[in-house]
Amino acid sequence: MAKGFKNPTFSDRANASAAAKRALLQRHKAAPKRDPAELAAAKERHLAREAQASAAREQAKIEKKAAALAAHEAAAAEAQAAAEVAKAAQPKVPTQAELKAARDARYAARKARQR
């Protein structure tokens, strides 16, 4: 007859978990430590990369602002040119004074012909 599977009790599971944690802690303590000079060199490389990335971000930001300013100036110049073209295409509307002057000139010409 085959023996059945024995379900582990809570204390068995807790003991197995504690043993696994102890084994993990032992492996961690036994791991070799990094050399302080190597750590300093790695930190120095990391800081150099950060400085280079920061400079690149600043340069990109400056270039983006310059491109936006150039695009804004180009759009403003284009709008100005379009406004000038539209203004030139509009018929000149005479002012009230000009209308009165033309009417007076016609009246004077008519009076001059009648004499």
Please tell me the least confidently modeled range out of 43-52, 67-76, 94-103. 94-103
Q: What is the count of structural domains for the chain?
A: 1
Global confidence as pTM: 0.45
Q: What is residue 4's predicted lDDT score, i.e. its pLDDT?
A: 67
Position 68 in a domain:
yes
Position 4 in a domain:
no
Nearest 5°: the CA angle 59, 66, 47 is 10
pLDDT in tens, 16-57: 999 999 999 999 988 888 888 999 999 999 999 999 999 999
Position 86 in a domain:
yes
- Helix/strand/coil for 14: helix
Position 2 in a domain:
no
pLDDT band at 106 (very low <50, low <70, confident <90, very high): very high
CA distances from 103 to 71, 94, 97, 114 (A): 50, 12, 10, 17
Domain coverage including residue 72: 34-114
